[in-house]
Amino acid sequence: MAQVYIVTGAASGIGRALCQRLLSDASNKVCACDINYEALAEIYADHTLAESGGSLILQQLDVRRVDQWQDVVEMVLNHWQRIDVMCNVASVLKDNWIADIVIPDEVDLHFDINVKGTIYGTQSVVETMRQQGSGHIINVASLAALSPVPGLSLYSASKYAVRAYSLAAGMELEQYGIAVTTLCPDAVQTPMLDQQKDKEQAALTFSGSRTLTVDEVVDAIVGPVLKKRPFEMVLLPSRGVVAKIANVFPQTTGNFVDTFRKQGAKRQAKSKN
């Protein structure tokens, strides 16, 4: 069924792959948003824009700016009169050791983009979806939202907040016909992962048996997430079980961190080749 989508982080990684998959169905209508408008214009140059009768809107968006979120929603409603699916994908990650001096700007960056950006994106479409009596908000968190990750404390903390907010939103908004799904993927082969390949702090990111592809994440979104509208989906499920157990027993988990870090460091080294 044709739907109207808003997707953030559409110039790279999961957001880019998701938009391209959605646009492969000519009946879908997509508003692709990113702070880097030049990249959007280059990536989607072959698509016909909505102004010319096409099914694509390109919109520069800083997810930290409420006024820009209002502009996005207004533009989409002016073109297509409804919003069916909001996909909050945009995210940042900077590795950090707790014992090192953390730059305040890096703290703000994680919480302004990952947390506030997701909250603002969610809030921006609630009233429209409530009036429609339907809608689906998909917030991309991380496996790091299920279990703390030493070396990525700011990122992990921000994704914990994304997950907590999204689950609460799902419980509140269900009465209005609005589903909220929190998607928690393990490490995904994206530019964000590439920046971690040389960082000792990020070794635990590579502790799984393999990394996910963006297509696997998109398959999950356009498949079971959109069809079943769950509160939460974890990729891979087996890693999710381990992460949730680790979260319940942090003292015990702490005893095995070095083992997992060494395992991750070996796979991290292989990923450079």
The catalytic site residues sit at 155
Q: How far apart are CA 69 and CA 235, in angstroms?
A: 29
pLDDT per residue as tens digits for the range 107-139: 999 999 999 999 999 999 999 999 999 999 999
With tokens 């940042």, the residue in question is 92
The strand pairing partners of 87, in sequence order, are 7, 138
Residue 261: Cβ within 10 Å count:
20
Q: What is the DSSP letter of 86?
A: E
Coil, helix or strand at residue 137: strand
Q: Using an 8 Å Cβ cutoff, are 40 and 32 in contact?
A: yes
Q: Per 3-state DSSP, what percentage of the chain is helix, strand, and coil (rounded to 5)?
A: 55, 15, 30
The strand pairing partners of 30, in sequence order, are 5, 56
pLDDT per residue as tens digits for the range 87-108: 999 999 988 888 987 789 999 9
The pairing of strands 178-185 and 135-140 is parallel
Long-range own/partner contacts, residues 53-60 (CB < 8 A, 24 or more apart): 55/23, 55/26, 55/27, 55/28, 55/29, 55/30, 56/23, 56/29, 56/30, 56/31, 56/32, 57/30, 57/31, 57/32, 58/32, 59/31, 59/32, 59/33, 60/33, 60/34, 60/35, 60/36
Q: At residue 199, does pLDDT exceed 80?
A: no
The strand pairing partners of 268, in sequence order, are none
With tokens 């939202």, the residue in question is 145
What pLDDT, on the 0 to 100 scale, is given for residue 148? Answer: 87
Q: At residue 23, does pLDDT exceed 70?
A: yes
Q: Which residue would you say has higher pLDDT here, 158 or 249?
A: 158
Q: At residue 27, does pLDDT exceed 90?
A: yes
For 6, the token pair is 């808003």
With tokens 């919003």, the residue in question is 83
Q: At residue 265, does pLDDT exceed 90?
A: no
Q: Residue 208 — very low, low, confident or very high, per pLDDT cuts 50/70/90?
A: confident
Q: Residue 195 — very low, low, confident or very high, per pLDDT cuts 50/70/90?
A: confident
| Per-position DSSP letters for 215-239, written without gaps between them | HHHHHHIIIIIHHH--SEEEESHHH
